[in-house]
A and B are shown apart, each in its own frame.
Chain A
Amino acid sequence: MANIMYWEAIQRAHDEEMARDPLVICMGEDIGVAGGTYKATKGLYEKYGPLRVMDTPISEGGFTGLGIGASFLGVRPVIEIMSVNFAWLAMDQMFNSAAKVRYMSGGQLTAPCVFRSAGGAAHQLGAQHSARMEKVFMGIAGLRVVTPSNPKQAYGLLKSAIRCDDPVFINEHELMYNMKGEVPDGEYFHPLEGSEVTRSGTDVTLFGYNISVHWCLKAAEILDKQYGISAEVIDLYSLSPLDRAGIKASVSKTHRAVIAEEDEAPVGVGAEVIALINEECFFELDAAPVRVHSALVPQPYNHTLEKAAIPDHEDVVKAVLKMFGKA
């Protein structure tokens, strides 16, 4: 096990896959000569050259479509959208071309491409650089959506996404690139479907994904130490498809659910997980499931307002205490 950063894990996955298969390429803004805004492609340009590590013009719709077109002929492009906010400009190609081509061609063509993007609110980046957009991607037929919460997942999910024949959107987080964690020394493929029990518990299930897994873990610690509540933490690294069986199993055990998401609440992961709980195990519930989420505002620049807009572990603790009648 190597203790490496999230960006190093992503870089390693790129490097291994590019060394293995000459048709694996990567493309995006500043990913080559400049080494990538978050260093996720550092050193690859020097190693694999400009034909396979493509510094693109700032044309998200254009270069995303170009990568998708190349994938029709078996090229496996890893397309970096520097910030998920810019993905709006590429969504026509992602949704109308990549996600639908297999279906509308009756299985003749497929788009085995990977879209990687840094999402999430960082520090005072304002309304147009702070979007959380996983909820937009997870409702699209033909597109897989995964979101790594640690370096091991970042490495293993990218490896699996490159090998998979389906288009995969990988939702990363601006604040997590320097997070350290254990990554296996040998080659490792993280499953593209499912969920992980990150912490086992009996009284309530805290569902998180990406950065909110860490709020849930911190909250579980506090709930255990200060309030004697045993919380289970489930990491929903796959947002599309969601792990129906895993969600059902945990809620059937704990009978209570809190979903923590950095996205705004209307139409999102929380809403979808609660719908699944209703469908799968409504009569197992001892309390109405609760969402912890951001305020429905364009992200404010002001530090205090920004903090007020986004939840953290304290909000998860509060939600659980309220559910148990302790707040």
Chain B
Amino acid sequence: MKIEDKQRVLREMVLHRRFEERCYQAYIERKIGGFLHLYPGQEACCNGVMEAARPGHDYVITGYRDHVHAIKCGADPREVMAELYGKETGSSKGRGGSMHIFDAAHHFMGGYALVGGPFPLAAGIAKAIQLKGGDEIAICFLGDAANNQGVFHETMNMAALWKLPVLFVCENNLYGIGTSIERSTAVVHQHKRVAAYNIPADECDGQDIEIVYEHARRAVDHVRSGNGPYFLELMTYRYRGHSMSDSRGYRSREEEELWKQRDPIFILRDRLIEDGALTMAGFEALEKETDAYIENEVIKFAEESPEPRVEDLEKYVLADRDTQLPWITGKAA
């Protein structure tokens, strides 16, 4: 990665980290409701892959831990926060919530809350790309636990059979909710599982963005060149619990400390300092600047935005009736 790209991505990753930590605080303050799944610890995964892809052009789909993926694709952090606040200005107009961030304009095709559900949707997006003849690819980010769903296997089979332009990124954070991978999964190394479908696969450290980037570049090139699907496994760790109701009683504090020593932001920060492209004071200033932006722009926007109108409760259930009248009434031209 070029120095200026690393500097830019560091800024983004700090924003992603501070955004999520601010969500935590807002949740405690009961400004955010429902379930909240946070991303700290895994930032190098999304960022490394998307640096190798084309954010806003390639189609991205993921599970419920989706705020950072949306922002990386181009979603406005203010609208993502407004969504968490349930506001009309939210990315899904307050109808989706944390688990259902969407930004179709930036080809972020959404967060979905059934584990494994996005697998076939991603393959379908790739099928549409194939039919239309575009140069986009579909990228599906999911956790390791999703691979134990039946649709994982069904989708791998179809994606390989039809050579669909889809990259499956497995963010292996070692836990499916509160059950460790050793206790839930017969094959711990997830990339080995797609060998059954002749899908090329690779595994790497998911904490060092430069490593992720190098592996992702090969993966993206493979898919974009029309060679069919690819499976990339990134070894990573989420610092917080699965969601906010999780006290992490299923893992040791020692294990958590070990992973925090390989923090993706600190790895990149220290490398930039080594390269002479950043100072510690510069980094601290960046954190402060980011916090100020989140407070003065993001939180302010969410706080001040209006609630959806109760009269609009049923809006968006079906397509706008007026546009569908020929088929609803049978009076087509």
Contact = CB atoms under 8 A, between A and B. Distances in A.
A57 B171 CA distance: 27
B261 to A, nearest CB: 38
Interface string A154-184: 0010001101111000000000000000000
A69 B121 contact: yes
Contacts of B131: 22-23, 25, 51-52, 70, 75
A62 interface: yes
Contact of A164 (B103, B162, B319): B319
B123 A66 contact: yes
A103 interface: yes
Contact of A190 (B100, B125, B154, B330): B330
Contacts of A66: 120-121, 123-124, 127, 155, 158
Given A105-B104, A106-B92, A156-B330, A97 B158 contact: no
Interface stretch (B108-116, B217-225, B265-273): B108-116
Interface in B297-333: 315-319, 323-324, 326-332
A57 to B, nearest CB: 6
A92 B114 contact: yes
A104 B117 contact: no
Interface string B106-150: 000110111001011111111111111000000000000000001
A75 B110 contact: no
Contact of A109 (B102, B127, B128, B328): B102
B124 A142 contact: no
Interface residues of B, number: 57
A68 B91 CA distance: 21
Given A65-B120, A102-B317, A189 B332 contact: yes
A103 B150 contact: no
Interface in A45-78: 51-52, 54, 56-57, 59, 61-75
A188 to B, nearest CB: 8
A110 B319 contact: yes
B78 to A, nearest CB: 15
B95 A106 contact: yes
A108 B327 contact: no
Given A57-B161, A166-B318, A189-B327, A70 B128 contact: yes
A62 B157 contact: yes
A73 B95 contact: no
A117 to B, nearest CB: 18
B57 to A, nearest CB: 13
Nearest to A101: B110
A128 interface: no
A325 interface: no
Contact of B109 (A56, A62, A72): A72
B324 A165 contact: yes
Contacts of B316: 102-103, 105-107
Nearest to B131: A75
A44 interface: no
Interface of A: 22-23, 25, 51-52, 54, 56-57, 59, 61-75, 92-93, 96-97, 101-110, 141-142, 144, 156, 160-161, 163-166, 187, 189-194
Given A92-B114, A105-B92, 10 more contacts: A57-B158, A67-B124, A68-B124, A69-B120, A97-B117, A104-B110, A108-B105, A164-B319, A191-B329, A191-B330
